[in-house]
Homo-oligomer: A and B are copies of this chain.
Amino acid sequence: MTRPKRATIVDVARMAEVSAKTVSRVVNNEPHVTEAVKTRVREAMRALRYHPNVAAQGLVRSRSYLIGLVYEKPSPSYVVELQKGALERLHGERFRLVVLPVESVTEREEEIIALLRSAALDAVLLAPPASDNAALMRELRDGGIPFARISPTRLLGQGPSVAMDDVAAAQEAAEHLVTLGHTRIGVIKGDPSHAASDARLVGTMQALATAGIALHPELIEAGLFTFDSGLAAARRLLALDPPPSAILAQNDDMAAAAITAARECGLHVPEDLSVVGFDDSDISRVVWPPLTTIRQPVQDMAYRAMDMLLHMLKGEPEQGDVHLAHELMIRRSTAPPRAD
């Protein structure tokens, strides 16, 4: 219907009585342009409400000014933090963020690779578990598309990454429970396709082994990082005889579910059951009692990863891997076990 043709660089040139190339120079802040000409061109641009055509620029520069963020149905809070960090770094830059949530990286590798190929991305941010996918990374590398990995757990050195130490963090969380006097500790694992789940389990087991505490298989329940999966897992744990006196959930969503499950059983947190989460997402302060959890600086990680990408886009060499510190946030969901 309405197609008010946008002004082009030629229109501006005509109005300012210069050549198109000169306008181009002004637009791109190139040197060798008289101040007088510059202002004349700028006025014309304003008058015509001129904005460069991104498609045309992209065609000649082979740049799309698009950066993709690939992630896979993690908890909402994680996604939000991720986007916040990435967008914060992008503020003021020309690049825009395209969100690419995918069903299952491992199951539909081909489909996702095709998606990336046709999406014309200048760079890609890989969140777990996509950050562990070899085929994906190979494809990006072959295509000459810079990428940064967030919290990878395998194939380190295959690409710049930002991560925290999952093993050490889980260990610290478990030690906290041990120090409080817990000996029967239940674990709710995260999505098995996220390698972080195993890393966190390893850390937990190390802490318990050091303390001489056995972790019976029945005390390890499978979850998927979602509230519902956590609820089911927590119910199974609490149905055990005897039930654990503490539950270590591998993310906050599942920890919140553990609190809910406890309430269903008439149990008080932390008096009857201590609960530890992971991530320090918004949810950790929304529930009651507020969660003792591991602060995983997701937003900072995304910010740093995006920063790496921007540097690479400027032609600078790949940076190495960055490790960000975690922190045990002790709040009110943990306490010594009831003296029986």
Task: List the interface of chain A (C-beta within 8 A of B).
Answer: 1-4, 6, 49, 51-56, 58-59, 62, 64, 66, 76-77, 79-80, 83, 87, 96-101, 114, 117-120, 141-144, 227, 253, 256-257, 259-260, 263, 282-283, 285-290, 315
Contacts and interface: CB of A to CB of B under 8 A. Distances in A.
Nearest to A283: B286
Contacts of A142: 4
Nearest to A60: B55
Contacts of A76: 76-77, 80, 282
B49 A55 contact: no
Nearest to A101: B87
B96 A98 contact: yes
A66 B117 CA distance: 16
Contacts of A315: 1
A66 B66 CA distance: 10
A120 B49 contact: no
A287 B252 CA distance: 12
Nearest to A289: B263
20 contacts: A4-B142, A4-B143, A51-B114, A52-B118, A54-B64, A54-B119, A55-B120, A66-B98, A76-B76, A76-B77, A76-B80, A96-B98, A96-B100, A97-B98, A99-B99, A227-B282, A256-B286, A263-B288, A287-B287, A288-B288
A83 B82 CA distance: 14
Contact of A1 (B2, B143, B144, B286): B144
A299 to B, nearest CB: 12
Contacts of A49: 117
Contacts of A143: 4, 6
Identical subunits present: 2
Contacts of A58: 55, 58
Contacts of A80: 76, 79-80
Contact of A59 (B59, B98, B114, B118): B59
Nearest to A317: B1
Contacts of A96: 66, 98, 100, 119
A188 to B, nearest CB: 15
Contact of A118 (B54, B118, B283): B54
Contacts of A4: 142-144
A96 B77 CA distance: 22
A285 B227 contact: yes
Given A53-B59, A76-B77, A286-B253, A144 B97 contact: no
A55 B64 contact: yes
Given A4-B144, A98-B96, A51 B288 contact: no
Nearest to A55: B58
A297 to B, nearest CB: 17
Contacts of A101: 83, 87
A62 to B, nearest CB: 8
Nearest to A332: B263
Contact of A120 (B53, B87, B98, B99): B53
A64 B238 CA distance: 53
